[in-house]
Structure 1
Amino acid sequence: MSRSRRRDSPPPSPPPPPLLGVRRVGEMEHEEDDRPERAEPLTDAEREIIQDTWGRVYENCEDVGVSVLIRFFVNFPSAKQYFSQFQDMEDPEEMERSSQLRHHARRVMNAINTVVENLHDPEKVSAVLGLVGKAHALKHKVEPMYFKILSGVMLEVLSEDFPEYFPVEVQEVWSKLMGALYWHVTGAYTEVGWVQVSSSAV
């Protein structure tokens, strides 16, 4: 059922322009005060593009999610401070075998799936992402910048693993969606009175 997520030489894919504060891996800056005043709404055509391409991705949701999280933790090891079960993992192959990492990958992909399925209902999207943001702010104490970083990582993985479905114009639409997701999540952080915590927090 699942196709191999490993490629020795992934086809080159031009990076999309950063939209709404979403940056590619390697371009990330530690900024907290760059939240736009509002999320840019998606057009009907953009929603259709996202839902169509997501259908292709979601067929392999666990493998894709694992690929995203492995790249996230390898490129940004400081993010592992929030995951006691991943903290001591350095080897990507060890991460790939981790049942806990696979479980978290499914949760991430399922949350995005809920958003994509409800793009026609902005209130539902806002409610879902509000819950995600509040949980990560109040329970997990995760710095909100990691959502922006994760968005960039996901865009990279999707464009590399599904080049036939993610040409530049589709990447631009997805970057717009990721920017909207980040806007909603950081709004929840603001709502609960988020105060930046020490980087040593777990």
Structure 2
Amino acid sequence: MERMQGEGEGEVDHLERPSPLTDKERVMIQDSWAKVYENCDDNGVAILVRLFVNYPSSKQYFNDFKHIEEPEELEKNAQLRKHAHRVMNALNTLVESLDNPEKVASVLKVLGRAHALRHKVDPVYFKILSGVILEVLGEAFSDIVTPEVAAAWTKLLATVYYSITAIYKELGWTKPLTSTG
């Protein structure tokens, strides 16, 4: 059964901007990310496979593998691996740029615009993906992702979600009508 968080995410107006990361939080995120990014592709695939297995509706945006059910098949899919690489590179750019708010805003603007206008992805999936990232990192890197580090990551990913939804709102994004089927 699919777990769906945040059904009816029309509450963009009510989201509160998370407080800025402290210097200590930035360092914790960057240090932990360095270990994760050493094995960028496999960790990215693990995150996306977890997303697609736990939230199958998230596959609707990917024609190349939306009908694949088996996690092992998903892991081998070239298009999924390519997208996982892009996700990890985008995260890497964000993490490397945490001391440059203009760069972070620019990256998120490009990401938000593309996902709203071109891919028409419901922004709730950014929230869902954030939870999956935290889950996978916490399991795969339990020695590095301590509760304090997880809290810093939670704050960063909440900021990403807040920024993405603000971009969607700025664009006048409304949830596309989905066909039955």
Deviations 1:138-191 (A, max 9, x none): 000000000000000010000000000011111111000000011111111011
Checking the alignment, whether the CA contact within 8 Å between 1:133 and 1:185 is kept in structure 2 is yes
Task: Specify the alignment match of 2:66 in structure 1.
Answer: 87
Task: Give the SS at the match of 1:93.
Answer: helix
1:114 maps to: 93
Sequence identity (%): 53
Deviations 1:100-137 (A, max 9, x none): 10000000000000000000011110110011001000
Alignment partners' CA distance in 2, 1:51 and 1:177: 11
In structure 2, the residue matched to 1:152 is 131
Equivalence for 2:5? 28
Which residue pairs with 1:75 in the alignment?
A: 54
Looking at secondary structure, tell me which structure has more helix per residue: 2
CA contact (8 A) 2:49 2:71 kept: yes
Tell me the distance in 2 between the aligned counterparts of 1:178 and 1:135.
18
Going from structure 1 to structure 2, the CA distance change for 1:65 and 1:146 (only over 3 Å counts) comes to same
Runs of 5+ consecutive residues of structure 1 not aligned to the other structure: 1-24
1:140 matched residue in structure 2:
119
* 1:62 matched residue in structure 2: 41
Task: Give the conservation status (yes or no) of the 8 Å contact 1:130–1:187.
Answer: no
* Shift in CA distance, 78/169, structure 1 to aligned 2, threshold 3 Å: same
With over 3 angstroms needed to count, the CA separation of the structure-2 counterparts of 1:67 and 1:102, relative to structure 1, is same
Displacement after TM superposition at 1:46 (Å): 0.6
Unaligned runs of 5+ in 2: none
Q: Residue 85 of structure 1: SS of its match in structure 2? A: coil
The counterpart of 1:162, out of the listed 141, 145, 150, is: 141
TM-score of the aligned structures, taking structure 1 as reference length: 0.84
The residue aligned with 1:171 is: 150
Instruction: Say whether the 8 Å CA contact 1:51–1:116 is kept in structure 2.
Output: yes
CA distance in 2, matches of 1:42, 1:200: 41
Letter in 2 for 1:49: M
Aligned residue identity for 2:5: M
Cα distance, 1:159–1:51 mapped onto 2, change above 3 Å: same
CA deviation after TM superposition for structure 1 residue 199, in Å: 3.5
Instruction: Identify the range of structure 1 (30-39 vs 81-90) with the bigger mean alpha-carbon deviation.
Output: 30-39
Q: Are 1:130 and 2:109 matched, yes or no? A: yes
Q: For 1:37-67, what per-residue CA distance to the aligned partner results, in whole angstroms no more than 9, with x for missing partners?
A: 4232000111000000000000011111100
Matched residue, 1:20: none
- In structure 2, do the counterparts of structure 1 residues 120 and 193 end up closer, same or farther at CA, with 3 Å as the change threshold? same
